[in-house]
Structure 1
Amino acid sequence: MPAPLKPIQLAGALPRDPQFRAFISQWMVPPREPTVEEAAAFIRTACEIDSRRELQTNPAAVDRLNRFIRRPFVAWREQQHQPA
């Protein structure tokens, strides 16, 4: 099993994940699948940071990444694989 991604790596990888973009599309106005850059901006906004680099030194931003991005996305992704 690969080692978990560091917060800065996770914040860099998620915007390129089509599943993640589908997940955050529910918050887009109008509803649509965001671009990679829009997904990255979504993460920065949710974490209250200007740059992913801040995740290396800002524990509050890492907490927001986990609470508002990672955990809800994992739960959503698991729900997508449940039988109807």
Structure 2
Amino acid sequence: MNAHSRQRLVDLQPAQQAGILCNDPQFQQYAAIRCGFPKQQFNASAAAQYLRECCQIDSRTLLNTCPAAYSKLAALRTDFDAWAGKIATPR
């Protein structure tokens, strides 16, 4: 691999992870469902608002410096990954 190879999501700063997540159409659908809109799809902006509310932050950049917010992001990612079938559902 060279220096320009794609990085793994977990190797990126939390704010970058959140930005990528909010641009994922599957996460946008997940966010819409969690907000009570099961037949709709959010756009990236609405998904970002959902993520900020879940993490109780005003800006995704706070994910890089606030351990409590990062912990909420990690839990949200785990729930999303389970919903998407990427991992087994946590018990």
- Please give the TM-score of this superposition, normalised by the length of structure 2: 0.75
Q: CA-to-partner distance for each residue in 1:38-72, whole Å, 9 max, x for gaps?
A: 000000000000001111110000001111x1000
Question: Which protein has greater RCO, CA pairs closer than 8 Å, 6+ apart?
Answer: 1
Match 1:59 to one of 63, 67, 89: 67
User: Does the 8 A contact of 1:28 with 1:34 survive in 2?
Assistant: no
1:6-21 to 2 correspondences below 5 Å: 6-21=13-28
**Residues of 2 paired with 1:74 and 1:29: CA distance?**
19
In structure 1, the gaps of 5 or more residues are: 80-84
- Please give the TM-score of this superposition, normalised by the length of structure 1: 0.80
**Residues of 2 paired with 1:30 and 1:18: CA distance?**
15
Moved over 4 A (4+): none
Q: Work out the number of aligned pairs and report it.
A: 78
Identity of aligned pairs, percent?
Answer: 37
Secondary structure of residue in 1 paired with 2:57: coil
1:30, distance to aligned residue in structure 2 (A): 4.0
**Residues of 1 paired with 2:35 and 2:71: CA distance?**
23
Q: 2:34 maps to what in 1? A: 27
